[in-house]
Structure formats: C-alpha cells, structure tokens
C-alpha cells in the first residue's frame, strides 16, 4: 500500500486507538494533549516514511513513536508534576518509565471507557455523536461537518463545548461499574443508533463517508457485545438492526445517487453474510423478557430482507410497527407504518391512516400520499408529488419525485 493511501487509512484506524489509550490513562482533562501527541506522531510518519520508506510494521512504528513522544512530553513538562503525577503515583514509581499500554486488550478497554464517558448525559445527544466520531472513530472536523451537512466551525464549537462540559463536570474516563452501565447504556445505544442513522439515512452524496459512519457505529456496538458487562439483549438487537440495514446498502441507491424504492431494489445486491449475522444477533437478543425498540426495529428490518411479497410478511411488519409506536411513538415510524398498511390492508385504508398524521412539513409524507393515490385518484397523486417536490431539499429526493411525476405524462 502506497504511503499516500496507507497513512490516511492508519490515521482512521490507529488515531482512535492511541487517543483512546492516552485519554484513558490521563483523563478527559488532557484530551487535547492526547490529540496533539497523536497528530505529531502521524506528522513524523509523513515526514520520515517519505524519506526512508514504509516500515515493516507501520502500526507498531506508530505505537512506539507515540509512546516515546508521550514519555518525552511528560518528562520535560511541569504539567506532569502538577496535575498528572498524583494520578499515576500509586502505580508507578518515579524511577520507572511511565508505561503506555497499547495492547489490543487495553485499546479495547480504553474505547469502552471512552464510549461511556462521551455518552454522559451532561452533553447533548448531538454532541455525543460528534465527539464519538472524533475521539472514537478518528473522523476529522471536516468529515464530521460533511456527515452532518454543516460547516467546520459549527462542528468545532460543538466538540469543544462537549469537552469543556465533561471537564467541568469532572467526568472520569474509567471502566463503567455495573450501576453505571445500567444507568447509561441507553444513552450509549442512542448515540450509536444516531451515528448509524446518520450514515444510513444521510442525504450526503458521499457514499464512502456514509458507509464509514455505518461501519464505525457497528464496530463500536460490537465492542459492547464482546464485553460481558455490556453484552445485553438490547445491544445485540441494535447490532442486528445495523446488520440487516447494512445488508441492503448497495441496493438503496443508483449510480446517480438517487434512492431506489424498496420494491424496486435488486435483491442480488443484498449482502447475504450481513443478513446471516443480523439473524445471529437477533437470536442472541431474544434472551430475557425485555423488548426494546431495537428488538422491534430489528424485526422490521429482518422482514425487509425477505423479498417474497407474502401476506404473512406484511402482517408481521405491521404488527411490529404497532408495538413500536406503543413503546416509543415517532412520526416517521408512523409514516413508515402506513406503507405496511397499504401492503397488507390496501391503499384506501393506508390513505386514511396516513392523512391522520398531517405531517405537512415533510416531503416524504406527500411523496407517500402520491404513491398511495396513484391508480385511485391520479389528479390527487400528482398534486401530492408537486408539494413533495417543493418541500424536498436534496437533489436525489427531487430526482426521485420528478421520476414519479413523469409517469403521469407518459
């Protein structure tokens, strides 16, 4: 792998590992120091590898240099004596070297501890996702801005405010206790769910970025599955949901970046391995007697990986949506439910259900009504598509609506 390709790849995979370990070792109050050390490490790699070539073990080289830079900084900087020394004195004598443990186990432990720190309720869910992308996934400010369709300044301020709130609240980066897991796991799962959704449902045309967001959400959720203390049914259900959705990723969009409706998707593009993994984690989620929204959404996603258009399929999906709305009402879930009503009970009943929602600011609402009225009242269908076109903001959504409208003039 050429240096120009390898270093950005390693930055994504190893930046998060080293930053996580350093934060875990020295606390959230020194997160900027950790980021500076790791950035300096990659700067050294860029400079030296260009002259001497890529080392045999690039990741090992980065770990060694990061360790040395950390030790050198702590030796020469008074910050160590004033603030950090007390934290490590009980486990390290000053005659010994400060050890920076970059073993696989400590990296995993560090990431788990940082997840629970980042997802502390003292900061907003939006800030939790941004900070998780930055510290736990190695995303740069510009990448996060692109993912959220905003500018760098907004993301920079959001992340800095989140860091300051964690510092002022004296939140420690440490392995969560059983009580803390019970108290905060819902927050962690919400942040990971939002992170995945940002990738899966994003209107960004950057397909690589969108896939990366989904992959990182799945990686972090899998970390929770691997840990005995956090391997809970809801965690497995969320990972199952992510697997099922990701399995259809390649079929959801055409080469022009336009969304392909479910019924028009090419089943051969669905990833069977991910579907099987989703089924595995859904079975693992079935222990105990608690049903979370992730269980219900995973069930809905499972049935969407079964292409056969049977009454049983849509009755199951409708039943799952009914239970989901009872558990946690969402206007979008209610809107999606009406599609299942149309498939199982017919368009006329679906129209009645849809019009009760009155989501008059949502272009998906009018687009769905356009589909439901098509063949029943084409004049109304076209009128709804026209409203949807006015409300839509992304080029791909507008293109899809226009394609539906063109059919009326053929």
Residue-wise pLDDT tens digits, 321-353: 999 999 999 999 999 999 999 999 999 999 999
- Please report whether residue 301 resides in a domain: no
- Please report whether residue 302 resides in a domain: no
Q: What integer pLDDT is reported at residue 94 of this predicted model?
A: 39
Number of CB atoms found within 10 A of residue 349's CB? 14
Q: What integer pLDDT is reported at residue 85 of this predicted model?
A: 56
Specify burial of residue 20 (Cβ count, 10 A radius: 0-12, 13-18, 19+). buried
Specify burial of residue 246 (Cβ count, 10 A radius: 0-12, 13-18, 19+). buried
Domain boundary among 70, 102, 134: 102
- Please report whether residue 161 resides in a domain: yes
Q: What integer pLDDT is reported at residue 152 of this predicted model?
A: 92
Query: Could you tell me if 405 and 382 are in contact, meaning their C-beta atoms sit under 8 angstroms apart?
Result: yes
Q: Are residues 108 and 203 in the same domain?
A: yes
Q: Are residues 111 and 181 in the same domain?
A: yes
Report the chain's terminal Cα–Cα distance, integer Å.
51
Q: Are residues 226 and 244 in the same domain?
A: no
- Please report whether residue 173 resides in a domain: yes
Q: What integer pLDDT is reported at residue 95 of this predicted model?
A: 37
pTM for this entry:
0.87
Residue 353, CA distances (Å) to 71, 217, 224 in order: 64, 34, 39
Q: Are residues 244 and 204 in the same domain?
A: no
Q: What integer pLDDT is reported at residue 78 of this predicted model?
A: 57
Query: Could you tell me if 23 and 110 are in contact, meaning their C-beta atoms sit under 8 angstroms apart?
Result: yes
Give CA–CA dist 183/109, Å, rounded.
Answer: 19
Q: Are residues 193 and 147 in the same domain?
A: yes
Domain tally, the chain: 5
Which stretches in the chain have pLDDT values below 50?
1, 89-90, 92-96
- Please report whether residue 271 resides in a domain: yes
Residue carrying the six token digits 């969407």: 304
- Structural domain boundaries, residue 213: 104-231
Give CA–CA dist 136/110, Å, rounded.
Answer: 10
Q: Are residues 109 and 225 in the same domain?
A: yes
- Please report whether residue 266 resides in a domain: yes
Q: Are residues 61 and 138 in the same domain?
A: no
- Would you call 260 helix, strand, or coil by DSSP? coil
Domain boundary among 102, 137, 172: 102
Give CA–CA dist 126/119, Å, rounded.
Answer: 10
The backbone region for 170, taken as left when phi is positive above 0, alpha when psi lies in -120 to 50, beta otherwise, is: left
Domain boundary among 102, 119, 151: 102
Q: Are residues 95 and 118 in the same domain?
A: no
Number of CB atoms found within 10 A of residue 93's CB? 8
Q: Are residues 13 and 128 in the same domain?
A: no
Q: What integer pLDDT is reported at residue 79 of this predicted model?
A: 55
- Please report whether residue 303 resides in a domain: no
Q: Are residues 219 and 244 in the same domain?
A: no
Give CA–CA dist 401/386, Å, rounded.
Answer: 8
Q: Are residues 124 and 174 in the same domain?
A: yes
- Please report whether residue 298 resides in a domain: no
Q: Are residues 281 and 323 in the same domain?
A: no
């Amino acid at each position: 792998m050429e240096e120009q390709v390898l270093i950005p790849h390693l930055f994504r995979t190893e930046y998060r590992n080293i930053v996580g370990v350093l934060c875990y070792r020295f606390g959230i109050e020194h997160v900027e120091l950790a980021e500076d050390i790791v950035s300096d490490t990659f700067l050294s790699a860029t400079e030296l590898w260009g002259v001497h070539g890529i080392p045999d073990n690039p990741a090992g080289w980065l770990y060694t240099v990061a360790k040395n830079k950390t030790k050198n900084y702590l030796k020469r900087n008074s910050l160590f004596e004033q603030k950090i020394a007390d934290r490590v004195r009980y486990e390290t004598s000053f005659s010994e070297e400060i050890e920076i443990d970059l073993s696989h186990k400590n990296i995993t432990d560090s990431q788990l501890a940082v997840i629970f720190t980042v997802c502390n309720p003292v900061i907003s869910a939006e800030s939790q996702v941004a900070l998780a992308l930055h510290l736990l996934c190695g995303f740069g400010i510009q990448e996060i801005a692109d993912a959220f369709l905003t500018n760098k300044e907004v993301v920079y301020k959001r992340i800095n405010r989140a860091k300051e709130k964690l510092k002022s609240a004296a939140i420690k980066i440490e392995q969560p206790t059983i009580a803390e897991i019970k108290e905060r796991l819902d927050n962690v799962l919400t942040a990971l769910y939002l992170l995945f959704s940002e990738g899966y449902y994003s209107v960004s045309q950057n397909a690589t970025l969108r896939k990366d967001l989904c992959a990182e959400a799945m990686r972090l959720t899998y970390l929770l599955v691997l840990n005995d203390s956090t391997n809970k049914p809801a965690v497995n259900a969320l990972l199952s949901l992510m697997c099922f959705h990701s399995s259809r990723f390649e079929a959801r969009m055409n080469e022009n970046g336009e969304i392909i409706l479910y019924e028009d998707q090419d089943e051969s593009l669905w990833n069977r391995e991910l579907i099987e993994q989703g089924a595995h984690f859904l079975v693992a989620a079935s222990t105990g007697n608690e049903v979370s929204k992730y269980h219900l959404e995973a069930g809905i996603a499972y049935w969407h990986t079964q292409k056969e258009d049977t009454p049983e399929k849509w009755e199951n999906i409708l039943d799952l949506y009914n239970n989901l709305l009872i558990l946690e009402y969402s206007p979008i879930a209610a809107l999606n439910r009406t599609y299942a009503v149309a498939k199982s009970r017919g368009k006329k009943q679906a129209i009645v259900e849809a019009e009760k929602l009155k989501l008059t600011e949502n272009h998906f609402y009018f687009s769905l009504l356009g589909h439901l009225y098509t063949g029943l009242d084409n004049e109304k269908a076209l009128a709804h598509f026209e409203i949807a076109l006015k409300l839509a903001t992304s080029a791909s959504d507008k293109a899809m609506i226009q394609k539906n409208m063109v059919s009326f003039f053929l």
